[in-house]
Amino acid sequence: MKTNVSRRVHRIMDIAQRMAEKIPGWEARARIEEIRLHFDGYAEPGYSDPESGIIATGNWNDITKYDQVHGRKVISNLPSRLFDLFEKLGVEGEWSDEWSECSQCNKLVRTSPDSYPWQQSFICDDNGLTCHECISEGDPEEYLASLEGEDRKCNTISSIDPGEYGYVKLEEYESGFHPGQTDDPRKVAKELRAKGITRFLFNLDDVGQFDSRWSCWVKVETEEECDDDSN
């Protein structure tokens, strides 16, 4: 079934490209060329892969043009028609400016919020974008170590618990617009450094519309780590 759907989707894309070439201007052609088909599924928490096994990303808005006499006029509804057709085939449609591929597994991750509680489930570094699944399957300790001593970064990946990797929760904090929610990670970090504590990191525990809850964790060094530091 997936093979048949894939063939139909590719055939539809070929037809859409030919139709776009007949539409005056460059917008229609560019919009269709922007559409990407993804076959590796989601790596975003809370999302399930479609039965078709295909996710399409693009800009599905109708192509419009402003006219001083008639106002905004639809030049082509090809993108939205394509979206509706994909939906009937069981292809999941997403907006290209809200999603990106993991550079390791090619699964899709959301890069912009869809709700107040949303938390980033990926990291971006010199190696590109890496999803939480690849981080968890790789070296979570290295990832957590990269957050140590940082007061402008924190762990946002809920599946990675610092307590499982030798960190101890120091305290919980709140920041926001409600009375008493005045905690500042920069101030906490400054106080810890003044005490000679550098192996600490922050963890984002919860996000609301007007506030956030986070915690500070300190690395408890083992005897082996202390021996390594002394050599």
Q: Are 195 and 149 in contact (CB under 8 A)?
A: no
pLDDT digits (tens, 9 = 90+) for 74-98: 889 999 999 999 999 999 999 999 9
Report percent pLDDT > 70 for the chain. Answer: 95
Report percent pLDDT > 90 for the chain. Answer: 82
Question: Residue 224 above 80 pLDDT?
Answer: no
Does 69 or 153 have the greater pLDDT score? 153
| Kind plus residue range of the DSSP H or E element containing 129 | strand 128-131
Q: Are 203 and 195 in contact (CB under 8 A)?
A: no
The residue-averaged pLDDT of 181-209 equals 96
Q: Are 190 and 149 in contact (CB under 8 A)?
A: no
DSSP class per residue in 22-43: TSSSSHHHHHHHH-EEE-S-B-
Confidence of residue 230 (pLDDT cuts 50, 70, 90): very low
Burial class (CB in 10 A: 0-12, 13-18, 19+), 32: buried
Does 125 or 92 have the greater pLDDT score? 92
pLDDT in the model for residue 228: 53
pLDDT digits (tens, 9 = 90+) for 23-50: 988 999 999 999 999 999 999 999 999 9
CA 169-170-174 angle, to 5 degrees, is: 95
